[in-house]
Structure 1
């Protein structure tokens, strides 16, 4: 019975506050860490005989209710847990504001109570480093006023202490401290120690300073900085040659060693050890050529094709292993030598009035076609270069009986273009089709390549002959007295 009553009250409570207009109360401002037990407000200040029953209404700010207690009879709202703005509003950088909803069951009244938690300065600034001591490095040949050592700014969890309100001060015991502090140097609000005089590691190899930061409540935090002056790596690698040129046959097999680039460095230790690599703009060639980073040997990684590309030009970088590595570059020029690996290609072109079936290499042409008009243009191409790309073309009739037939003629227009026509008219009644074999060959002296292509010509009949009797006259004998219609 008690369980059913509770369910009924819960349903009644839910339906009631949905359908009633809320009473908007004034905003309650609470300083974080306000003492526990502090009374915020009383919803029923008058002591009457009427019954009241106040309840929190669940909403999107349910988690804030754990910091308050509500007297169900008087409507008194107290603080019961410590309020820490930085925990409650971890990701809210402006206002830490919530809305409490309280519903009175008997009067069916819904109260909206805005809660604003105000920040107090209860946190110290913090530098974002794992230790309060950091090391920075700078080369002894760094140019003054152009060299900077960047430091991350401190941060403060308090909303009233944003980064622009933090103050920094650099302190050191060195009278000739060669750096000055620069703040807000860019949109990232980084700090920087700017070099203001030349460095000499052989005289002083390190400097010490302390960076102080204070917030608006004078909370102070310190960051101890050790600046180490690094010995200069003042010798760059030098290649044996500024340009490496080599010729490579397009038939070269994969993994063949092509050449070796070599550089030397007068420095010692890591400053004198060299590794080789393609520069960024030349890394696209690393799929074709492999480079041993230790020895500088260049191998062929994938096959090359002169017809696709005739040369490769790229840069190799030699870089030492110093802390501030120095590098130099050399140019590699690989010329691909053409090999006779492409046979000539024969292609036909015909005038519109000629019916051409490419899949069968077949044309159909009228026997009326005039002899003074060419009917085919033949183009011969070869992807190879130089004399290998030059070709010659000839043809023959694929018929032993017609082998010496001179009725077709081939005109050469230039190195690759030919015209083809007849020296006498076609005659369907004499021959209905021709089979021609065209040959194209390049001029390679060692290994000439030959292409053969067959063209079939079907002659179309025209009505160019009168009817003829098989005999010019006939001699018949006939007897008299024959019957009519008899033969």
Structure 2
């Protein structure tokens, strides 16, 4: 319904040979309206018939024809050039509303996460787009950075799969007129084998008597690797000579050391060994723990004479109280258990 006045045509002829009317080339957006002036002349006006869309058509060219009433009819034409100026009627549009990306937890600072991109059908400043993060926790904002001009997202703080396995980034694109668009970037953190197995000794039976039965639990340990998959699968082995063996508990991460064969303090007063845990990564990472078990004496040895039999020849006139023979016996036990008395 908006009207745009056009320049009036001039015809120096008079009477019926003078200007009679105007005609406009066909166009769906405009029609011709004639407004009568006080002096009786007609003022041509363009009448807007429907809304314009610069993004669909940025310019139009019409032909206005002025026709007189003579015989033959004479006419004059003029081109009407219409430039449609932009208004900010289009928000930015992201190429993808939802994006997924994977990033290793050992990615160096400055690594490119991805480049988001938005376009705006408007022109000039209305089409100028800047990028920023939407409302997110401070922890996430510390990890990532987005370039306001290019939409390039980079890593600015180290990742840790064991701490956080994924992040959701909310990205905003704002045009020069203030219209907004949003998209999400899902960042999946990939595990790398950056943690060695950790061995924690929960209980240790030391010292222990040498006569404890086989199968006795000597130590309870928790072996854990916070990595995932094969990187977190742990196997254990004992290094060193010791009468112990490893038994895995139903919980998986708990390991039990049990007595595999009888102890003998007289043979070894203590046992020192190392438990080594290795994960399934490539290359594998290992953790170790030293275990020392002291063996206490039990009275498991009888005294032993230096000879099984003694033969003594005694003269018949030997005085009373004379020493006939000295016998000796030893006991492999220690302390009171190894103290020998004779009767």
Q: 1:344 & 1:308 partners in 2: Cα distance?
A: 17
Show the 5 A alignment for 1:186-335: 233-282=88-137, 284-322=139-177, 325-335=178-188
Q: 2:113 & 2:190 partners in 1: Cα distance?
A: 13
Q: 1:283 & 1:418 partners in 2: Cα distance?
A: 40
Q: Which residue of 1 aligns with 2:19?
A: none
> Per-residue deviation at 1:279?
1.2
Higher relative contact order (CA 8 A, sep 6+): 2
Q: Secondary structure at the match of 1:280?
A: coil
1:339 aligns to 2:192 (yes or no): yes
1:377 paired residue among 189, 196, 220? 220
Q: Secondary structure at the match of 1:375?
A: strand
Q: 1:284 to 1:234 in 2, by over 3 A?
A: farther
**Normalising by structure 2, what TM-score?**
0.63
Q: Which residue of 2 aligns with 1:409?
A: 245
> Per-residue deviation at 1:462?
2.4
1:455 aligns to 2:291 (yes or no): yes
Q: Which residue of 2 aligns with 1:357?
A: none
Do 2:273 and 2:292's aligned partners in 1 also have CA atoms closer than 8 Å?
yes
Q: Secondary structure at the match of 2:230?
A: helix
**Normalising by structure 1, what TM-score?**
0.45
Q: 1:337 & 1:252 partners in 2: Cα distance?
A: 10
Q: Secondary structure at the match of 2:301?
A: coil
Query: Going by fraction, where is helix more abundant, 1 or 2?
Result: 1
Q: 2:202 & 2:107 partners in 1: Cα distance?
A: 37
> Per-residue deviation at 1:234?
2.5
Q: Secondary structure at the match of 2:89?
A: coil
1:425 aligns to 2:280 (yes or no): no
Do 2:165 and 2:188's aligned partners in 1 also have CA atoms closer than 8 Å?
yes
Q: Which residue of 1 aligns with 2:335?
A: none
Q: Which residue of 2 aligns with 1:98?
A: none
> Per-residue deviation at 1:264?
1.1
Do 2:87 and 2:126's aligned partners in 1 also have CA atoms closer than 8 Å?
no
Q: Deviations over 1:358-403 (max 9, x none)?
A: xxxxx3222132223322223321111112111111213x25xxxx
Q: 1:283 & 1:382 partners in 2: Cα distance?
A: 29
> Per-residue deviation at 1:408?
2.5
> Per-residue deviation at 1:245?
1.1
Query: Going by fraction, where is strand more abundant, 1 or 2?
Result: 2
Q: 2:227 & 2:139 partners in 1: Cα distance?
A: 26
Tell me the number of residue pairs that the alignment of Structure 1 and Structure 2 aligns: 238
Q: Deviations over 1:250-286 (max 9, x none)?
A: 1111112221111111222322211111113355422
Do 2:87 and 2:122's aligned partners in 1 also have CA atoms closer than 8 Å?
no
Identify unmatched segments of 5+ residues in structure 1: 1-201, 203-230, 355-362, 400-404
Do 1:437 and 1:452's aligned partners in 2 also have CA atoms closer than 8 Å?
yes
